[in-house]
Amino acid sequence: MKSNRLQQFLIPLLAVLLGMIAGSIVMLASGYNPIAGFYALVYGAFGDTYYIGETIRQTTPYILTGLAVAFAFRTGLFNIGVEGQLIVGWLAAVWVGVSFDLPKIIHLPLALLAAALAGALWGLIPGVLKAYLKVHEVIITIMMNYIALHVTNAIIRSVLSDEGFKSKPVKESASLHSDFFDAITHHSTMHYGIFIAVAAAFVMWFLLERTTKGFELRAVGFNQHASQYAGMNVRANIILAMVISGAFAGVAGAMEGLGTFGNISTKAGFTGLGFDGIAVALIGGNNAFGILLSALLFGALKVGALEMPSSAGVPTELVDIIIALIIFFVASSYMIRWLLSRWQKGAE
């Protein structure tokens, strides 16, 4: 048992380390100094309070998209639609934030709830199709990403925008902006959403590990036939899993709409936050607290990469290569497990 837990901790760590080593080789082969490159990366993520604030801000939606993907994974589903669920959540949060004049104690929770409900609704559709018609959730969720992108663009242009491409700013009573964080991080875009993201990680852990419904959801994910035989409602649990996963993604969209940007604009393509959430979940081992760490890693990589071209002359695309290599090694976990088992046998 202890050995399995140790491996669950070591495998993502080794995957990150191997990804960094492979990234260093790519840098050397491309004529760049890997030491200078990684120094610039770390400095760009944690070098001063502004960079730290930006790293935490970038980490916030990654936590929630990672939780959305991981929740589905833990219940036997593969939610590729986190990106679309995030976009509709972003739209719903901004619509509530722009359209109502309410006290902050009502307005902000209402906007967050609207985002969660929008994401949940976008997860409900593939959940129902999976439960009742056996339509594979991967196909449906991929298609619904594109529907979300183009429908939200149309709504922004026709309903929310005076300029044709961007909504009005959300009202102060619905904003996650923090004057305190603004002051201590030298005007970074860090906001109160980080507390919501950390609370969401606790909610996922508690729901899956400490409740009867969480046990049912995990049991259905492990074996639908055995769960049905035990008297569990398999269809209802499949739908509920997709709804909760979508709600996490919708709240991730609210972090962008109410916090980072304070509005929503038309998009030529996807934000990438939902797709990166797949990697965050994998590196975090689909564990709520592991996701907090992997989201911080991704936030640091994304923000720190912006410093690499100016300080080390390394193109930011190399960071994407490093991330891809990390994912490759996580996906190759069987090889890492084999190496660890050989090492443990040798130590004995």
203 vs 282, higher pLDDT? 203
- Domains of the chain, by residue range, sit at 33-313
The per-residue b/e assignment along 150-184, b for 16 or more CB within 10 angstroms, e otherwise, is eebbebbeeebbeeeebbbebbebbbbbbeebeee
Rounded-to-integer distance, Cα 280 and Cα 267, Å: 23
- What is the average per-residue pLDDT within 16-41? 89
- What is the average per-residue pLDDT within 100-110? 96
pLDDT at 3 over 60: no
- What is the average per-residue pLDDT within 113-129? 98
Helices (H), the chain: 2-29, 34-46, 49-74, 82-99, 104-133, 137-155, 179-184, 193-210, 212-222, 224-229, 234-254, 273-283, 288-304, 308-312, 317-331, 333-347
For the whole model, what pTM was predicted? 0.93
Assigned CATH topology for domain 33-313: ABC transporter involved in vitamin B12 uptake, BtuC (1.10.3470)
Helix, coil or strand: residue 224: helix
Both tokens of residue 33? 């100094």
pLDDT at 162 over 90: no
Calculate the average pLDDT of the chain.
91
Which of 100-104, 248-252, 314-318 is predicted least confidently?
314-318
- What is the average per-residue pLDDT within 294-312? 91
pLDDT at 334: 59
pLDDT at 311: 86
165 vs 207, higher pLDDT? 207
- Asked if residue 287 lies in contact with residue 67, where contact means CB atoms within 8 angstroms, the answer is no
pLDDT at 225 over 60: yes
Q: For residue 49, list its beta bridge partners.
A: none
Which of 152-156, 241-245, 268-272, 304-308 is predicted least confidently?
304-308
pLDDT at 192: 97
pLDDT at 239 over 70: yes
Instruction: Tell me the pLDDT tens digit for each residue of 54-81.
Output: 999 999 999 999 999 999 999 999 999 9
pLDDT at 322 over 90: no
pLDDT at 312 over 60: yes
- Asked if residue 308 lies in contact with residue 315, where contact means CB atoms within 8 angstroms, the answer is yes
DSSP code for 171: P
- Asked if residue 107 lies in contact with residue 171, where contact means CB atoms within 8 angstroms, the answer is yes
Angle at 260 between CA 254 and CA 262, to 5 degrees: 70
Rounded-to-integer distance, Cα 277 and Cα 69, Å: 6
Residues 6+ positions from 300 with CB-CB distance below 8 Å: 41, 42, 45, 46, 55, 59
pLDDT band of 315, cuts 50, 70, 90: confident
- Asked if residue 242 lies in contact with residue 123, where contact means CB atoms within 8 angstroms, the answer is yes
pLDDT band of 329, cuts 50, 70, 90: confident
pLDDT band of 13, cuts 50, 70, 90: confident
